Structure 1
Amino acid sequence: MIRDGGVRGRIKRLAATPDELDAEELQRGAMASGCMPARQCQRGQLASVSGRLRTVVYSPRAQLPTLEADLYDGSDVVTLVWLGRRRIAGIEPGRTLAARGRIALRDDRKVIYNPIYELEPPR
């Protein structure tokens, strides 16, 4: 993470890409809300994460439809999965939210099934 302070810090910020600056802002927001960085989340752990939804996809499955959203906090991605849902008001790409639940792994990716969540006001 790029830190403010001193000439060296200012030079790093000037040389940073827009994606790096966005990741830094997301990480600061997650820390300010008391959430754990997604990169530190471990399987089986009850975690609170905060970030921006990158993608939201409805997956129609024969047995159980699912709504999946990738939450990016600037350090890693946690996929939020709502089982039996086709749509949830406010769950859309670009929306910022905090989510809480037990971390699982699916195909070596961090997942929270049926998370408790709180939407941040739209910007």
Structure 2
Amino acid sequence: MTDNVNHPKHYTQGGVECIDALAAATINLQGLDAVCTANAIKYLWRWGQKNGVEDLKKARWYIDKLVKENEVVEDKTQAEEKQFFMTAVHYNLNMWRDSGDVDYLYKAIAYIKAQIGVEEKEA
């Protein structure tokens, strides 16, 4: 007799229980990243044993959600990096203007060169 509560057949194929694989796959993740990753794996794990294509669609939904959320975080990080760049350049140019210390000009130029390098890599 199968135990559909503790060890359901659709989560124990291949000698590995799905919950153990989920724990390993999400050990370094938190929050929504962990939830979406675990659910996508869960639905992929069982799709051939339980709900077929419906489970594949559910897995895709969680993967799409994970991608969308991480793109937002990536976009926010890029915006923050550009803001830091602009602030650093403006600060150093203003300090050069106010103090006459050419080292500030060199720092501003270094920030600009670094940003050009970043943008060339992204292109």
Q: Answer yes or no: same fold by TM over 0.5.
A: no
* Structure with a larger share of its residues in helix: 2
TM-score (norm 2): 0.27
Which structure has more relative contact order (CA 8 Å, sep 6+)? It is 1
Higher gyration radius (CA)? 2
